[in-house]
Chain A
Amino acid sequence: MVEPALIKAAQAGDREALVTLLREIEHQVYRTAYYLLNHEQDALDASQEALIRVYTKIGSYEEKAQFRTWVQRIVTNICIDKFRRKRPSVSIDEHEMVFESGDSVEAEVLSAYAAEEIREAIGKLPEHHRTVVVLRYLQDFSYNEIADSLNLPLNTVKSYLFRARQQLQVLLHDYQKGGVRG
């Protein structure tokens, strides 16, 4: 939680406060970028871009919004731009076609999914579903906070999140059963 006083000082032009503030948010920014882009170097680049944007735009932050939703809006926008440029989004049907088996024998006896598999499955979700899941689980955002960050209606957030969980459940369920499709 970033102190409101620190934000105020940063907005007033205190460079040191602004840099301190960036240090406080850098991990949360990186976490979102990492799970959205599913690629370390891309995540590092996107996070730095987001932090610079926070630095330059701090004056436009208004207190009526939560600071952390404002920050997440910046980083998700940058990431969405990035992965739109990088690869076209793939639908859930197509994922199943390309879903690779990994080590299916072990997978069957695992009681839990490995983080790696979940991360891969998240990476296969359509961009909005992915973003909602990341904010919900990696930032512990409420429905409302997600809606504020993404500028989406509350019902849309819920429907994205619910659908995303169903898709993940299918992806991971298949995986655990062996998941070999062709």
Chain B
Amino acid sequence: MMCQEVMELMQRYIDGDLDEQETSLMMDHVGQCPDCAAMLDRLKRLSSELEQLPRVVPRYSLVDAILPELERLNELEIRTAPADEILEAAPLRSRRSLRPGRDLLRRLSTVVALGVVVGLLIFTQPDQWPFGSNSSGTNEAGPSLDKQNNEKSVIQESNTNTLKVEQQAPASKGTGGADDQHADRADPRESDPGEKAPNDVKITGNETMPAATPSFNASTSEPPANPDTPVSNRGDVDRSASASGEASSSGSPAASASEEVPQSAGIMAEDGDQGKMAFGSGAPDAAVSVVSPDGKWRAVTSEGTATIQIYKSEDNSLLFDSAAREGSIENLTWSPESTYLYYSWIDAEGSRTELMFDIEGVQESNR
């Protein structure tokens, strides 16, 4: 038996956790191993010292000291209803808490759920993909959009989603009114007590409204210049998806911009581009396919590999199959005329190479 194993037995022995057999095993070893015997002695001594640590007591009665505070909590409870919830919300952070991390998690989960829905809609109704429609002046936005930008827009989207949800909350509780909505939307810290005690709602609402409005605006109108910015696109996708499953049939420029499944890290849709992107959601080796604006071509890259295949939509024949390379392909984007495919290759070291493919010349080249 190894000394290391005996160490655990000795430790458990100290806590009275050994059965007879284990005890005799340990004792046998300790009898032959002076090191372990010494260790056992030290552990025993340490443990008995620890057991004898003084049972300190406070120098004044803690309960007496907090009685006024308890009294105050009591009064608070009597004055307002529903009482229990107030008590929880006021002095101690409540469950719905104030912790930004948790809030973010809630928002992110909303986004993920939304992404899955959108992905499914696109995937199950391929005939409704709106190819070839034009959106205005968004070409430059496409390829230049980097990952951070996309991530940012996901967060922004999540903000608006959360806000929508929260907006509905007060109405369903029957405490409606515009002020309440503002309060709810503004800042969970401020609004928690308000929600729980209808009497307090008005005050809370007034207090928080000025702060609320700017923050609400910030999340919805941050990039004000371009109507085809990620935020507005996603807003539209969100609405159309939740409306009836006509994920992108409205024909408006914004709605015909691409959708994105937020989970598919590393593969980013290009907002405002004419290309369409779809994801094999759920498949372990999810492929991303982007159809050219004229519908004639389909570029495919698989998640986790850095190859590009271009198929002719007409007969599904393979026009181009890139050499295998390490890394991943991002930002698949078609030119408006469907003559070039632009994309970025991130190699294993993480360095980015901007590539393009010329459909007419059938040639891949650096940009």
Chain A residues proximal to chain B, CB less than 8 Å: 15, 19, 22-23, 26-27, 29-31, 34-35, 40, 43-44, 47-48, 51-53, 55-57, 59-60, 112-113, 115, 118-119, 133, 136-138, 143, 158, 161-162, 165, 168-169, 172-173
Pairwise interchain contact A143-B91, C-beta atoms closer than 8 A: no
Nearest chain A CB to B62 CB, angstrom units = 5
Pairwise interchain contact B62-A30, C-beta atoms closer than 8 A: yes
Pairwise interchain contact B55-A162, C-beta atoms closer than 8 A: no
> Which of A60, A118, A162 contacts B11, CB < 8 Å?
A162
Report if A138-B14 is in contact (Cβ < 8 Å); known contacts: A165-B43, A172-B46: no
Interface size class of B (residues with CB under 8 A): 35 or more
Nearest chain A CB to B197 CB, angstrom units = 15
For B88, the chain A residues whose CB sits under 8 A away are: 56-57, 60
Pairwise interchain contact B58-A19, C-beta atoms closer than 8 A: no
| Complex alpha-carbon distance, A137 and B51, angstroms | 5
For A56, the chain B residues whose CB sits under 8 A away are: 73, 87-88, 91-92
B42 contacts the other chain (Cβ, under 8 Å)?
Answer: yes
Pairwise interchain contact B17-A31, C-beta atoms closer than 8 A: no
Chain B residues proximal to chain A, CB less than 8 Å: 7-8, 11-12, 14-15, 17, 42-43, 45-47, 49-59, 61-63, 65-67, 69-70, 73-74, 84, 87-88, 91-92
Q: Which 5 A-B pairs have the closest CB atoms?
A: A137-B50, A162-B11, A56-B87, A30-B58, A26-B62
For B54, the chain A residues whose CB sits under 8 A away are: 115
For A27, the chain B residues whose CB sits under 8 A away are: 55, 57-58
For A35, the chain B residues whose CB sits under 8 A away are: 53, 56
Residue in A closest to B10 when the chains form the complex, CB atoms: A162
Other A-B pairs, 4, CB within 8 Å; known A48-B65, A51-B66: A43-B58, A60-B88, A118-B50, A165-B14
Question: Most chain-A Cβ atoms within 10 A of its Cβ — which of B11, B46, B59, B88?
Answer: B46
For B91, the chain A residues whose CB sits under 8 A away are: 52, 56
Residue in A closest to B51 when the chains form the complex, CB atoms: A137
Residue in A closest to B17 when the chains form the complex, CB atoms: A143
Residue in B closest to A40 when the chains form the complex, CB atoms: B59
Pairwise interchain contact A44-B46, C-beta atoms closer than 8 A: no
Question: Most chain-B Cβ atoms within 10 A of its Cβ — which of A23, A56, A143?
Answer: A56
Pairwise interchain contact B92-A118, C-beta atoms closer than 8 A: no
Pairwise interchain contact A48-B66, C-beta atoms closer than 8 A: yes
Question: Most chain-A Cβ atoms within 10 A of its Cβ — which of B15, B47, B62, B91?
Answer: B62
Nearest chain B CB to A35 CB, angstrom units = 7
Question: Most chain-A Cβ atoms within 10 A of its Cβ — which of B11, B15, B58?
Answer: B58
